[in-house]
Amino acid sequence: MNLSMCLDKSKSRTTSRNSKRVQSAQATFAKMMLAARQQSAAPAPINNDKPACHQCSRLMNDMGSRCPFCEHKFCHECLQPCLSCNGLYCSACSIMDYSTPVERSQCITCMFP
């Protein structure tokens, strides 16, 4: 057996392995796409009795609170008090200050007057 025949066999094995990997990857991708289609096709149950928090999507027993800046409804765990004006703001409308040992939150209005 000469060197070129050995190289040809090695190439064919590598090509065969790569082809199997590609087929396996394509099959996995097809399964993922099918699962995504089936999940999006199923309608989400609608519960009009209780509002959901805009950030964590938990159903709230009470009406929750609105962020005065963006006006979305949030549960009490998802709102932080502003250090300056003491208003309750969501994480998107407030900025956390980590420069001190205690975390402090400031709303956008107080942070950039």
pLDDT at 109 over 70: yes
pLDDT of residue 52: 86
Contact call for residues 73 and 54 (beta carbons, < 8 A): yes
pLDDT at 29 over 70: yes
Share of the chain above pLDDT 90, in %: 12
- Alpha-carbon span 85 to 58, nearest angstrom: 27
pLDDT at 3 over 60: no
DSSP 47: -
- Alpha-carbon span 22 to 18, nearest angstrom: 6
pLDDT at 1 over 90: no
pLDDT of residue 5: 55
Cβ neighbour number for residue 28 with a 10 Å cutoff? 10
Mean pLDDT, range 57-80, rounded to an integer: 85
- Alpha-carbon span 16 to 11, nearest angstrom: 8
Mean pLDDT, the chain, rounded, equals 80
pLDDT at 112 over 90: no
3-state secondary structure of 26: helix
- Which tokens belong to 34? 């099918």
pLDDT at 72 over 80: yes
Sorted by sequence, the CB contacts under 8 Å of residue 93 that are 6+ apart come out as: 67, 69, 70, 107, 108
pLDDT at 111 over 70: yes
pLDDT band at 86 (very low <50, low <70, confident <90, very high): very high
3-state secondary structure of 65: strand
